[in-house]
Structure 1
Amino acid sequence: MTIRPKYFTPNEVSIHNTAKDIWLSFLGKVYDLTPHVEANSGDPLLKPIIDAAGQDISHWFDPKTKDLKKFVDPNTGCLLYFAQHGRFSNVPPRFPSSDWANDFGKPWWKDEKYCIGVLSKKTRFIKIINALTLQNQIIEVCSEETMKEILNRYLKYNAHAESYTWKYDCTVLDMDKTLTENGIVDDDPDFYTLRMRDDQYLQSVILYYNDDLTEA
């Protein structure tokens, strides 16, 4: 059985923006570098990484090689990493140096132990209406997520969400399929073309109470 990756929105990544809680995204994946920063606390080479906390740094990389961008040093003719924001941890110095420890194994940008999921290629806002209480909630979701994963996002607003039947346009939704696969088309491109505010015309998923509330 294939395990689905965890999907994150750019907004979710952006809130982890301190030295004690630092996420980065690049090349379509999300990385939690908090352990790396903690293990190297006090190292001045962490500064460019901390400055980029919560951001996407795909522009640091060559999409073909999946490695940091490189350049030929005009003085030495050597191929070096291009650290446009200043040299950072695991990047070797331009010249041989006896104080640079290279026994760290894989550099952090190649070490999958820091990878915690996938950055959504397209997020969507959707309105969820509880037909029992008439409460509604607008949440941002990843277009790649199944309805079951969207339900998990919604649990913080309604801990009993699994005890409801989820419907759209009077049709019961397949919780193992995405919004699009359930026929809930992403209208964002049309709203953009028509210069309309998409937050005023969100598709609504209706929750119908099943009278079998699960335990909290």
Structure 2
Amino acid sequence: MDWIRLGNSGKDLTGVGGRMRPVSPQELATHNTQNDAWLAVRGRVYNITHYLPYHPGGPEELMKGAGIDATQLFDKVHPWVNFDSLLSKCLIGPLRHSMPSAEELFDTSNPPPKSDRLREPSKAQELVRKSMENLANCITPVKKKISSRSEENVKGSPPSKIMQSLIQSSDLPVSISRRAASSPIKTIQKEEVPALRYDWIQTSAKLTMSLYTGPLANPGGCARITEGVLLIEVATNGWLRQLKLVPEEKLQEPLQLRVYAESGKIDVTAFKSDPKIWKGCGEVTLGVATRVSSPRTVACRVAAVGQVTHDTSLMTLQPLAGTVVVPIGHHIRVHMTVSGAECIRSYTPVGEGWTSQDDLTALKLAVKKYSTGTLTPRLTALRIDDIVTLSGPYGNFQLQKLKLVKKIYLIAAGTGITPMLGLIKFMLARSNPRCELAHLVFFNKTEEDLLFNEYFENMSQDDER
């Protein structure tokens, strides 16, 4: 809504006076910084400088297409988005296509020896490949020949703007040879505090706060209403950030909390006590980032108890204070006092899409009952409205490890399937890059012990991957 208001404010978002004019690939390549960013999509060039703070995936994702024809990148991530309408006030003009000459692409007068060639594809090879894929979307070639004798290469000078554009293109190799004028990447020792941005949207009945933690940040967190104030805590990679909202009018529970793992977005939805449209969301305060010193403990009410198999129960636990989300690949611990001593067991919550009813306010645990066990007979004997204590989340799994993975192989046994459920959903829903194969090896004693078997069957029928 803020972006629409800015577009209707009369401000020149094109940066060229609003006059339509053609743009050459050479000119496009010079606008590749956050203070001056242009990109081309499907033959149209847009000035995205003012749009960067509003991009749901974060400025860094959009900057991958700055200075180049970003059509392929756009189609990989979200081809269904109506970009022409969204960026209509940023339109500069059509991209003027020009094919590079053979002399520019190839210099055969002095070819380097085989041992002296780039380990990565040369710029000329990449340009030919891109031209063959889409003749209209070619990048202006680098006229300067790359060789081991180049003085700039020997000194390790920074890459040219064209080379930076090639590096930023998501479908090209991330690493690049020193002979291509790139100095070795230095490891950054200083730990960076993750950024947190927010946005909001409303209907007459509810208010949704959207928090952006960055792509593949794998956030966890909780939300609650305390004395009329909405408090949202977000944890990413050991850092905790809090958003405090003093709403314009009264909000009420239950809260709904949903995480979009690929983009790192968290949506927290609260219901309005008095249904109507507000002028604003209220007063928002973002707290400073702090290190997570210890796992949180939360009391939960048993909201429902069902069966997954003959000896495994599905327990729906509702936190007494708000709602909680656990990052993919992380787990929680159940604490109960048995014979005067504390007994602790670890469980990975079952996420969305694995039960007949998805409750965005609760945690679901698949608990297998062992007749000789210490905790599970008592845990599965709990009834609705009983109270149980949880702590967490625990774990150090990072989704960044799956950033470039296209084929994933999962091995699980019994209730050990629960950590895999979130990974399967994430991989099959991911858009960039798309998953090609999710292969599960699942060990059980008998067929009747298979957990969530009907869901696996339906998924393999609906998705050939």
TM, length-normalised to structure 2:
0.20
Comparing both structures, which one devotes a greater share of its residues to strand?
2
TM, length-normalised to structure 1:
0.35
